[in-house]
Structure 1
Amino acid sequence: MTLAKPLPEYLVRRYHGWKATTFAENKGWYKRLAEDGQRPRAMVISCCDSRVHVTSIFGADQGEFFIHRNIANLVPPYAPDSDHHGTSAAVEYAVRTLRVNHLIVMGHSGCGGVQGCYDMCSGDAPELEETSSFVGRWMDILRPGFEKLEAGDRQDRLTALEKTSVLISIENLMGFPFVREAVEDGTLTLHGVWNDIADGSLESYDPETDRFVAI
């Protein structure tokens, strides 16, 4: 493999800093994680966006969350006969093998993937309509949400679509037989949250009011 290069020096320095401090101060904990395996209580499906730091937001330690990240925190519909199941495989492993108690879908403000879907569906991003666009075909999952948006200001509609991405993912999760079974058995609960990056606020979906409310 001649194309791969050594890590950038700044990352090497950061690694050595972590190894000499955080790791050195918690060797017992890391040894326990290695020997006992992971037992996370929750899975979080969040966006790939580098500004969304799930463990920091919830003050989580290693071994606490099983995290899967993808563009716009989307869960595709249950489709076992199609190809390439990165997200679906992560969900299956979390629910069937790790037996997590909570599955959280986390959206956020300023989501580039959601904006791409919005522009694509508005006819302003023809490149995403190309069959060769991985992002465009992934964002097709959210297309039904765009079609249901109410008229209004662009920014308000984008925020609404960001929250809709969370709800579509939860709806699609319930299409997975093993997820539905766990929810109906009471061993798994689904949660939807949305994070405003600028002010650090977090909103949680309330099914009784069908709204996201501040936590």
Structure 2
Amino acid sequence: MDHIRPLPAYLVQRYHGWRATSFAENRSWYRRLADEGQRPRAMVISCCDSRVHVTSIFGAEQGEFFIHRNIANLVPPYEPDGDHHGTSAAVEFAVTSLKVAHLIVLGHSRCGGVQGCYHMCSGHAPELDEKTSFVGRWMDILRPGFARLPEGDDATRQQALEFEAVKVSLENLMTFPFIAERVESGDLSLHGLWNDIAEGGLMALDPRDGSFHPV
């Protein structure tokens, strides 16, 4: 495998720093996690964006969250067609095997994936409309949200599309039979959140009117 290269020195240094401090101070806790397995209470579906740090936002420790990240925190609809579905597989494992009690979709401000979808659906990103674009075909999941956008300037509509990314994902989650069954029985609750990166704000989806309000 000639294309593989050594890990950058700064990452090696950070690893050794972590192992000598945080790990060393909590060695028994890590051993317990390894021996007993994971029992997360919640799954969080968030964006790949490097600025969104789920565990920091909630002050979570190892073992608390089962986290899945993808472009624009999207969940596709239930499609058992035999193709590869990484997000659907993560959701299935979290709900049916780990039996999480909460499933959270976390969107965020200034989302590049959502912006790409906005430009694509507006006709300003023809490269994303190409069948060969993995990003474009993934962002097709959000097209129903674009169709629901209110009138307004681009900035307002793009933020509204970030909210729609959360809503579309929550709607699609309910198309999974094993999720709908657990939601109806009260064993699983769904939550929609949006993080304002610049302000450190967190807003929650109100199921009564579909609006977002500070938590």
TM-score, normalising length from structure 2?
0.99
Q: What secondary structure does 2:106 align onto? A: strand
Where does 1:53-132 land on structure 2 (aligned, <5 Å)?
53-132=53-132
* Residue matched to 1:25: 25
Q: List gaps (5 residues or longer) in structure 2.
A: none
Q: What secondary structure does 1:175 align onto? A: coil
* Residue matched to 2:163: 163
| Number of residue equivalences | 215
Q: How many angstroms apart in 1 are the aligned matches of 2:160 and 2:183?
A: 26
1:207 counterpart letter in structure 2 = P
Q: How many angstroms apart in 2 are the aligned matches of 1:164 and 1:147?
A: 10
CA RMSD of aligned residues (A): 0.6
* Residue matched to 2:149: 149
Q: How many angstroms apart in 2 are the aligned matches of 1:82 and 1:47?
A: 25
The CA deviation at 1:12 is 0.1
CA displacement, residues 20-68 of structure 1 (integer Å, 9 cap, x when unaligned): 0000000000000000000000000000000000000000000000000
Q: What secondary structure does 2:104 align onto? A: strand
CA displacement, residues 79-124 of structure 1 (integer Å, 9 cap, x when unaligned): 0015111000000000000000000000000000000000000110
The CA deviation at 1:209 is 2.8
Q: What secondary structure does 1:123 align onto? A: coil
CA displacement, residues 159-196 of structure 1 (integer Å, 9 cap, x when unaligned): 10000000000000000000001101100000000000
The CA deviation at 1:210 is 1.9
Identity of aligned residues (%): 71
Q: How many angstroms apart in 2 are the aligned matches of 1:181 and 1:160?
A: 30
TM-score, normalising length from structure 1?
0.99
Hey, which bits of structure 1, 4+ residues long, moved more than 4 A? none
